[in-house]
Homo-oligomer: A and B are copies of this chain.
Amino acid sequence: MCHTSGVSSERAAHLLRLSALFQAAPAADVQALAELARLRTLRRGDVLFHQGDAATHLYVVESGWLKVSKLAAHGQREVVLHLSGPRQMVSGVSVFVDNARYSASAAALEDAGVLTLSAEAVRHQTAQSPALAQAVIAHFAKRHVELLERFDDLLFSDLNARLARLLLEHAPPGTTLLLPTNSELAAHLNTVPELVSRKLGEFYRQGFISLERRTVRIVDEAALRSLGGP
């Protein structure tokens, strides 16, 4: 599935210092963490951790993209909470809760490399370094606000609105976008692939977007905005 290897502490320190979370922390603190870091390689589709697993590690993406998602109990339903790219932290939250389990799953969207840090080490370093603690607080606060926005999005909007907003965000008028699979879109919109297909078709027929193969371009921005607004 995936592979863990040692990594020079200089390289790890370099990566950590670039990360959003650790860039504010003193070099010495980062160095201490870096010595303990390992680099793990993921292939597209590999799962970094499953929802419910004991939260033992914190990860920093080095390359590639991960998706963090929640899975419905029995069904196949999946909702994407967040995408994490280079320099971003994954699973920061669970690590700071006692005896926590991951409350979501993380998987690689493409081949990726992640630095793994043990929860214990991170907590210890954070307790030592006020600057690092500040950075963690700022990160959590930001993530929390993002999550609340997602709440609004998923609870108060119908599918037309969610899809319209997704298109406006990812394919700003004037640009073009190669769509991922309908399944992946569905996971972002909290729906099923069939509905994505239908709605895209409707938008096309109504002249809101142009659609060629899987390439989409916004034609009628105003229409999409009015769908996304209310």
| A interface with B by C-beta (< 8 Å) | 70, 72-75, 77, 79, 81, 93-97, 100, 103-104, 126-127, 130, 133-134, 136-138, 140-145, 147-149, 151-152, 154-156, 190, 230
In the complex, the answer to whether B149 meets A96 with C-beta atoms within 8 Å is: no
Given contacts A127-B130, A127-B134, A137-B136, contact A148 B97 (CB under 8 A): no
Q: How many angstroms between the C-alpha atoms of A73 and B140 in the bound complex?
A: 25
In the complex, the answer to whether A143 meets B145 with C-beta atoms within 8 Å is: no
Q: How many angstroms between the C-alpha atoms of A89 and B97 in the bound complex?
A: 18
Most buried by B among A138, A140, A143: A140
Q: Which chain B positions have C-beta within 8 A of A156?
A: 70, 72-73, 75, 77
Closest to A149 in B: B103
Q: Which chain B positions have C-beta within 8 A of A93?
A: 140-141, 144-145
Q: How many angstroms between the C-alpha atoms of A103 and B147 in the bound complex?
A: 10
Partner of A100, one of B73, B75, B143, B145: B145
Closest to A134 in B: B127
Q: How many angstroms between the C-alpha atoms of A147 and B94 in the bound complex?
A: 12
Q: Which chain B positions have C-beta within 8 A of A104?
A: 148
A183 to chain B, nearest CB (A): 17
A3 to chain B, nearest CB (A): 29
In the complex, the answer to whether A230 meets B133 with C-beta atoms within 8 Å is: no
In the complex, the answer to whether A155 meets B154 with C-beta atoms within 8 Å is: yes
Q: How many angstroms between the C-alpha atoms of A138 and B74 in the bound complex?
A: 31
In the complex, the answer to whether A147 meets B145 with C-beta atoms within 8 Å is: no
In the assembled complex, 20 residue pairs joining A and B whose CB atoms fall closer than 8 Å, in A order, are A70-B151, A72-B155, A73-B156, A74-B230, A75-B156, A81-B151, A93-B141, A96-B137, A97-B141, A100-B141, A126-B134, A126-B137, A133-B134, A133-B137, A137-B137, A140-B140, A140-B141, A147-B148, A151-B151, A154-B155
A52 to chain B, nearest CB (A): 12
